[in-house]
């Protein structure tokens, strides 16, 4: 087991021991790090892992909260965990995740535009602001996390309990693929692609804040199609370079 996974399990055990219930806030980050005997950086990674399982939720400016009773079986972890090594060993699985997101998020965006409460809208706005903040700092990992959190906040605003649970269970896969997707898309013409993605996120947020379900559905569909096209282009560029690399020794020999 990796160190980050061990710390996540330690934190999970601590939550159980203290009998923290859904809705309760975790102690301050500094205190938690001291209690567990780990660095704050390692603690943040552990919190991120437990958030991906749907156990915790980090709210910007408010702290980290328990979302699911730690005594409840983590069925979604059992379903999603086997997919993680597949994603790592075969990057083409990211297209399956993207296709799944297309099926789910077109629906969640449409419902969110109709059902989002004032609290939901604030959470979506804060997620978008966090995304801008980390992009400005050029923090790739934090940007990927904020990107996934933004989409998860929209799913939660749909108020469809089944879809929200499925999206939460997909969070770890989403985080892995979002990080890899952003890396691949920014290989060429970084600034232009980033500007386009940021504009798409902004338009999606505005459609939901303004209560425009058809616009929200259109924007998220265009956004995911854009990501798919950019990834396809990146894969084609990589394959072309690999072919050139295989050809080079033959060319050198013949000359």
In this structure, are 42 and 146 located in the same domain?
A: no
In this structure, are 29 and 105 located in the same domain?
A: no
End-to-end CA, the chain: 51
In this structure, are 54 and 97 located in the same domain?
A: no
CB–CB of 184/144 below 8 Å? no
Q: Average pLDDT for residues 20-45, to the nearest whole number? A: 86
- The full DSSP string for 169-226 is HTHHHHHHHHHHHHHHHTSSSHHHHHHHHHHHHHHHHHHHHTT-HHHHHHHHHHHHHH
In this structure, are 139 and 163 located in the same domain?
A: yes
7: domain range? 3-66
CB–CB of 216/113 below 8 Å? yes
Q: What confidence score (pLDDT) does residue 75 get?
A: 46
pLDDT digits (tens, 9 = 90+) for 109-148: 999 999 999 989 998 999 999 999 988 888 877 788 788 8
The model's pTM is 0.64
The whole-chain average pLDDT of the chain stands at 80
pLDDT digits (tens, 9 = 90+) for 197-217: 999 999 999 999 999 999 999
In this structure, are 132 and 96 located in the same domain?
A: yes
Residue 241 covered by a domain: no
The helix (H) or strand (E) run that includes residue 64 is: strand 63-66
In this structure, are 62 and 180 located in the same domain?
A: no
Q: What confidence score (pLDDT) does residue 157 get?
A: 93
In this structure, are 212 and 150 located in the same domain?
A: yes
Q: What confidence score (pLDDT) does residue 161 get?
A: 79
Q: Would the CA dihedral through 46, 122, 21, 73 be positive or negative?
A: negative
| CA–CA separation, 126 and 105 (whole Å) | 19
pLDDT digits (tens, 9 = 90+) for 58-87: 887 788 888 865 444 454 555 556 665 665
71: CB partners within 8 A, 6+ apart: 16
105: CB partners within 8 A, 6+ apart: 151, 154, 155, 220, 224
| CA–CA separation, 170 and 53 (whole Å) | 9
């Amino acid at each position: 087991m990796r160190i980050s996974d061990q710390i996540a399990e330690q934190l999970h055990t601590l939550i159980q021991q203290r009998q923290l219930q859904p809705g309760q806030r975790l102690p301050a980050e500094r205190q938690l790090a001291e209690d567990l005997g780990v660095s704050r950086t390692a603690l943040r990674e552990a919190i991120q892992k437990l958030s991906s399982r749907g156990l915790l939720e980090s709210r910007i400016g408010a702290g980290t909260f328990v979302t699911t009773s730690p005594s409840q079986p983590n069925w979604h972890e059992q379903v999603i965990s086997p997919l993680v090594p597949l994603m790592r060993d075969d990057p083409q699985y990211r297209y399956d995740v993207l296709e799944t997101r297309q099926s789910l998020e077109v629906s969640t965006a449409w419902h969110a535009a109709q059902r989002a409460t004032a609290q939901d809208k604030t959470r979506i706005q804060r997620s978008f602001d966090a995304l801008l903040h980390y992009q400005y700092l050029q923090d790739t990992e934090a940007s990927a996390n904020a990107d996934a959190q933004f989409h998860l906040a929209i799913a939660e605003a749909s108020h469809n309990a089944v879809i929200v649970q499925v999206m939460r269970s997909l969070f770890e896969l989403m985080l892995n693929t979002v990080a890899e997707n952003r890396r691949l898309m920014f290989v060429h013409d970084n600034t232009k692609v980033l500007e386009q993605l940021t504009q798409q996120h902004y338009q999606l947020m505005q459609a939901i804040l303004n209560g425009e379900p058809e616009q929200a559905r259109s924007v998220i569909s265009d956004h995911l199609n854009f990501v798919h096209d950019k990834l396809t282009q990146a894969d084609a560029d990589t394959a072309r370079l690999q072919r050139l690399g295989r050809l080079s020794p033959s060319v050198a020999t013949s000359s």
